[in-house]
């Protein structure tokens, strides 16, 4: 569990929801600049890559987790801090790590 107390654009709390994608070997991070459109989360319908989504298919896609300006950096950091995947030298490929964890993820 990660718990923070901070404001983003004068609003709080920051939250995230994740769902397992058993048939996937990637992680999709869905982000919004001004909150989800229409006032409801689009995680039910999902987004297509390029429409507010960052899709990570290999460990190199997670390398910028420690760059605050990188797309989905906070969500990537949470994924790594929770120990779901590792980018440590010698870590298995992302697809293998996700397979062992039960499949891919959609995080929003």
- In this prediction, residue 41 carries a pLDDT of 40
For the chain of 108 residues, list the mean pLDDT of each consecutive stretch of 10: 65 76 91 51 43 89 93 91 94 95 91
- In this prediction, residue 16 carries a pLDDT of 77
- In this prediction, residue 96 carries a pLDDT of 96
Assign 3-class secondary structure to the chain: CCCCCCCECCECCCCCCEEEECCCCCEEEECCCCCCHHHCCCCCCCCCCCCCEEEECCHHHHHHHHCCCCCCHHHHHHHHHCCCCCCCCCCCCHHHHHHHHCCEEEEC
- In this prediction, residue 28 carries a pLDDT of 93
- In this prediction, residue 20 carries a pLDDT of 93
- Whether the model pTM is above 0.75: no
- In this prediction, residue 38 carries a pLDDT of 40
């Amino acid at each position: 569990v990660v718990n923070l107390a901070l404001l983003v654009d004068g609003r709080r709390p920051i939250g995230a929801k994740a769902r397992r994608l058993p048939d996937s070997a990637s992680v999709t991070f869905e982000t919004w600049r001004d909150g989800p459109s229409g006032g409801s989360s689009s995680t039910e319908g999902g987004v297509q890559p390029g429409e507010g989504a960052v899709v990570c298919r290999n460990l190199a896609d997670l390398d910028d987790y420690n760059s605050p300006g990188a797309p989905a950096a906070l969500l990537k950091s949470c994924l790594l801090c929770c120990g779901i995947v590792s980018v440590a030298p010698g870590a298995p490929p992302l697809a293998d790590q996700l397979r062992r964890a039960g499949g891919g993820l959609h995080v929003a």
